[in-house]
């Protein structure tokens, strides 16, 4: 399982990456491996506002459907349209090709409240211990 | 397996496990008046006695298969080939419950798959689900699908005033608390034009019925385009009579996004009001927002064709409160009956039955229209039902037909029950079951009523 050191995480297993003044959002490699084969991803529309901690989409696998929550607040400026036909990109490359959306953050300071790789690793280890 | 309920000992153990002293203590939160209400049931009877009593009760009913009936309004007397009851009575089909286990349910699953395929064919749509309870609940599911397509952002639903009154009521019941703005059906005279004018950027869907509640065929050609001229994304749902599709172009061909309706005309009995069958079909792009069970075709480990439930991640046992619907089963046995009906008739047979309905209804309408005191008000094309202005209230006429005429006849539907001021308007349904003789008897009876009524009225209640 990979934990990308260059992104920050939420406890609900989403990641956020700074790209200039935008934030790219996805789900972690741990999240995709727990869900197994992903078959469908429901995303918001460009222009929608998402709020930190609130559900913005659904990732559906062959065995479950999981809600995904916004690690930061902002306006959606792009969604990963490739996922419509290739949702498996999230399984194959959760931190890269499998990104979900890009937002223009409304409160860039929220970045500081997210977990770094070290702290996220502990969250995953604690969950796996259960 | 033991089919007995819990023993006293088991109850004691369960109460002990949760730390409650007695059953009464478990129900302490229920107000005492509702806890053990007086049921007022009579003393138990022997099997012979209860059979006697039920037989007597049933004889108080007028049996629609024994007297001429012209009552429709959503449920119709049609011919049900005996192969239907024979096949659905087989033990293998005895449970209609969801076939979760494909390894032991191939028969049921294949039947549902065939049903879905036939509904798609009939409606001109791409995907159909395994059915809903009835036409009314299927209509409500269309509203829920539409608002899910717009992720709850659009709140306005436009209902045609000629959508079945009970369907309109069920839509409101199903969606209460969802904060929807349901408009369009408050004025029974509202034209299709005026209805379309209500569509705006907040409208999730428009629901029209054709043949509508008054029997008329709505001009569906171009309707989707006219709605989309108001707002390009608003969905069009069409409620239809499946039997009419033996004769008329399926709504799917006119660009409908959802086609649904009451499946009872497909060989199901009147059954005292149910069980019926809600059929439901939509476009493939709305698959994720489609409610209910779906059966798909697949291959097993040996590569042989097989059937299984599919896309169940949309459903409540996985999605919980985020599920697109609370429907957790389907009308399996009724869907099976409809499938057998369609298979037994085939395309030619369905067309023939539809033609019989059409021609018999038009014959009846023609004959009634020339009667003194009666006027057929249906001006649009119709299928097997039409509206007639009568010389007196429908209630009075129906009493005459049942009690005072030479033979017992069940008259048409009293539209005054749904539309204030329409007490003299009768909705008359004529199906393939009404022989020429029955129709002529009915017309004679109506004529006689009008004559008596004109001569002073009232004295026919002798």
Tell me what ipTM this predicted complex has: 0.75
pLDDT at B461: 47
Top residue of B313, B316, B317 to mutate, by most chain A CBs within 10 Å, is B313
Q: Is residue A53 part of a domain?
A: yes
The mean predicted confidence, pLDDT, of chain B is: 92
Q: For residues B407 and B328, is the Cβ–Cβ distance under 8 A?
A: no
- pLDDT (tens digit, 9 = 90+) per residue, B253-292? 999 999 999 999 999 999 988 899 999 999 999 998 898 8
> Does B422 score more than 50 pLDDT?
yes
Domains of chain B: 82-341 (3.40.640.10), 347-454 (3.90.1150.10)
* Strands of B213-348, DSSP E: 235-239, 258-262, 278-282, 295-299, 305-309
**pLDDT (average), residues B50-71:** 92
Q: For residues B122 and B242, is the Cβ–Cβ distance under 8 A?
A: yes
Min Cα separation B101/chain A (Å)? 16
Q: Is residue A38 part of a domain?
A: yes
Min Cα separation A16/chain B (Å)? 24
pLDDT range class, residue B458, cuts 50, 70, 90: low
pTM of the model: 0.87
Q: How many domains does chain A have?
A: 1
Min Cα separation B317/chain A (Å)? 10
Give the CATH number of the domain where residue A54 resides: 2.40.50.100
Select from A44, A60, A67 the Cβ nearest to the Cβ of B313: A60
Largest CA distance in chain A: 40
Q: Is residue A61 part of a domain?
A: yes
B359 touches chain A (CB under 8 A): no
Q: For residues B122 and B107, is the Cβ–Cβ distance under 8 A?
A: no
Nearest CA in chain A to B289: A42
Burial code of B8-29, b = ≥16 C-beta within 10 A, e = fewer? eeeeeeeeeeeeeeeeeeeeee
Select from B151, B288, B322 the Cβ nearest to the Cβ of A40: B288
Interface of A with B in 70-129 (CB under 8 A): none
Q: Is residue A75 part of a domain?
A: yes
Question: Do A65 and B288 lie within an 8 Å CB cutoff?
Answer: no
Chain A positions in Cβ-Cβ contact with residue B313 (cut-off 8 Å): 39-40, 60-62, 64-65
Question: Do A42 and B313 lie within an 8 Å CB cutoff?
Answer: no
B285 touches chain A (CB under 8 A): no
As given in the structure block, the two tokens for residue A6 are 């260059």
Q: Is residue A87 part of a domain?
A: yes
pLDDT at B319: 73
- pLDDT (tens digit, 9 = 90+) per residue, B3-18? 677 888 999 999 999 9
Question: Do A61 and B322 lie within an 8 Å CB cutoff?
Answer: no
Q: Is residue A4 part of a domain?
A: no
B321 touches chain A (CB under 8 A): no
Q: For residues B384 and B78, is the Cβ–Cβ distance under 8 A?
A: no
pLDDT at B34: 87
Q: Supply the range of the domain harboring residue A31.
A: 12-106
- Work out how many CB contacts closer than 8 A connect A with B: 17
Distance CA B68, CA B242 (A): 23
> Does B37 score more than 70 pLDDT?
yes
Q: Is residue A51 part of a domain?
A: yes
Question: Do B318 and A65 lie within an 8 Å CB cutoff?
Answer: yes
Query: First CA to last CA across chain A, in angstroms?
Result: 17
Q: Is residue A121 part of a domain?
A: no
pLDDT at B218: 96
Interface of A with B in 62-81 (CB under 8 A): 62, 64-65, 67
- What are the strands of the beta sheet with A38-42, ordered from one edge? A38-42, A55-61, A65-69
Residue B62 per-residue DSSP state = P
In terms of DSSP bridges, do strands B258-262 and B278-282 run parallel, antiparallel, or are they unpaired? antiparallel
Min Cα separation B311/chain A (Å)? 9
pLDDT range class, residue B377, cuts 50, 70, 90: very high
**pLDDT (average), residues A76-83:** 96
């Amino acid at each position: 399982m990979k934990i990308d050191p260059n992104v920050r995480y939420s406890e609900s297993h989403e990641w956020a990456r700074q790209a200039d003044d935008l934030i790219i959002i996805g789900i972690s490699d741990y999240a995709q491996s727990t869900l197994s084969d992903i078959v469908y991803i429901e995303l918001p529309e460009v222009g929608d506002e998402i709020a930190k901690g609130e559900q913005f989409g659904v990732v559906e696998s062959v065995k479950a459907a999981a809600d995904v929550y916004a690690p930061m607040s902002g306006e959606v400026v792009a969604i990963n349209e490739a996922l419509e036909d290739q949702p498996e990109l999230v399984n194959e490359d959760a931190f890269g090709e499998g990104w979900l959306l890009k937002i223009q953050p409304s409160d860039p300071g929220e970045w500081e409240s997210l977990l770094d790789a070290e702290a996220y690793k502990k969250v995953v280890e604690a969950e796996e211990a259960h | 397996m033991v089919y007995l309920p819990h023993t006293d000992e088991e109850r004691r153990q369960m109460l002990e496990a949760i730390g409650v002293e007695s059953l009464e203590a478990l129900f302490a939160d229920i107000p005492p008046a509702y806890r053990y209400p007086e049921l007022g049931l009579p003393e138990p009877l022997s099997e012979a006695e209860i059979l006697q009593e039920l037989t007597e009760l049933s004889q108080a009913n007028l049996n629609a298969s024994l007297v001429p009936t012209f009552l429709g309004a959503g449920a119709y007397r049609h011919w049900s080939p005996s192969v239907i009851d024979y096949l659905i009575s087989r033990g293998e089909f005895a449970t209609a419950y969801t076939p979760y286990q494909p390894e032991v349910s191939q028969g049921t699953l294949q039947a549902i798959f065939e049903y879905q395929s036939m509904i798609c064919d009939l409606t001109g749509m791409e995907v159909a689900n395994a059915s809903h309870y009835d036409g009314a609940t299927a209509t409500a599911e269309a509203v829920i699908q539409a608002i899910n397509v717009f992720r709850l952002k659009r709140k306005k639903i436009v209902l045609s005033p000629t959508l079945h009154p009970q369907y309109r009521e069920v839509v409101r019941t199903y969606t209460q608390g969802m904060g929807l703005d349901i408009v369009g059906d408050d004025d029974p005279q509202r034209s299709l034009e005026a209805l379309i004018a209500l569509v705006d950027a907040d409208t999730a869907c428009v629901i029209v019925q054709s043949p509508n509640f008054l029997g008329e065929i709505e001009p569906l050609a171009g309707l989707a385009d006219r709605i989309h001229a108001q707002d390009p994304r608003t969905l069009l749902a069409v409620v239809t009579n499946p039997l009419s599709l033996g004769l008329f172009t399926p709504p799917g061909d006119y660009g409908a996004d959802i086609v649904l309706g009451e499946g009872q005309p497909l060989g199901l009995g009147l059954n005292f009001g149910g069980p019926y069958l809600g059929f439901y079909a939509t476009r493939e792009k709305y698959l994720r927002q489609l409610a209910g069970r779906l059966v798909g075709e697949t291959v097993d480990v040996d590569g042989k064709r097989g059937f299984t439930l599919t896309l169940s991640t949309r459903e409540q046992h996985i999605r919980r409160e985020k599920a697109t619907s609370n429907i957790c089963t389907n009308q399996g046995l009724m869907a099976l009956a409809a499938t057998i009906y369609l298979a037994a008739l085939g395309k030619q047979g369905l067309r023939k039955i539809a033609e019989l309905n059409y021609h018999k209804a038009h014959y009846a309408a023609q004959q009634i229209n020339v009667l003194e005191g009666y006027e057929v008000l249906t001006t649009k094309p119709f299928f097997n039902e039409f509206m007639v202005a009568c010389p007196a209230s429908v209630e009075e006429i129906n009493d005459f037909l049942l009690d005072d005429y030479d033979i017992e006849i069940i008259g048409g539907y009293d539209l005054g029950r749904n539309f204030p001021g329409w007490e003299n308007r009768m909705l008359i349904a004529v199906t393939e079951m009404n022989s020429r003789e029955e129709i002529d008897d009915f017309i004679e009876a109506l004529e006689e009523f009008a004559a008596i009524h004109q001569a002073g009225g009232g004295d026919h209640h002798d």
